[in-house]
Amino acid sequence: DTEVTQTPKHLVMGMTNKKSLKCEQHMGHRAMYWYKQKAKKPPELMFVYSYEKLSINESVPSRFSPECPNSSLLNLHLHALQPEDSALYLCASSHGTDDQPQHFGDGTRLSIL
């Protein structure tokens, strides 16, 4: 079992729907991350939150909107997604220094119809 919990595990949505992915950690980590992973590829960084503030946005389209309500929670709001957005979305957390590991959840498998 991972210490980073993501819900839902699977999500199927149409291109006009609005949905949210949720991530939770209780390790006291102050940095949280969203990654996108396509099949047979490494994870690609989307967003980084450090101390609940957005610190990195890797030029992600505005149809993806992150939110960090508190230090334990991270959301990713989805709206008007495209079929190419179908992927595994991974959340991770870390202490936030550059010599500490990131711990990943098991992801949300997203399919866009």
Partner 1 sequence: GENVEQHPSTLSVQEGDSAVIKCTYSDSASNYFPWYKQELGKGPQLIIDIRSNVGEKKDQRIAVTLNKTAKHFSLHITETQPEDSAVYFCAAIAGANNLFFGTGTRLTVIP
Q: Which stretch binds partner 1 (CB under 8 A): 14-22, 50-58, 59-67, 75-83?
A: 50-58
3-state secondary structure the chain: CCCEEEECCEEEECCCCEEEEEEEECCCCCEEEEEEECCCCCCEEEEEEECCEEEEECCCCCCEEEEEEECCEEEEEEECCCHHHCEEEEEEEECCCCCCCCEECCCEEEEEC
- Which range touches partner 1 (CB under 8 A), out of 13-21, 67-75, 77-85, 93-101? 93-101
Q: Closest approach of Cβ 80 to partner 1, in Å?
A: 26
What residues make contact with partner 1 under the rule CB under 8 A? 2, 4, 6, 31, 33, 40-43, 45, 48, 50, 55-56, 90, 92, 94, 96, 98-107
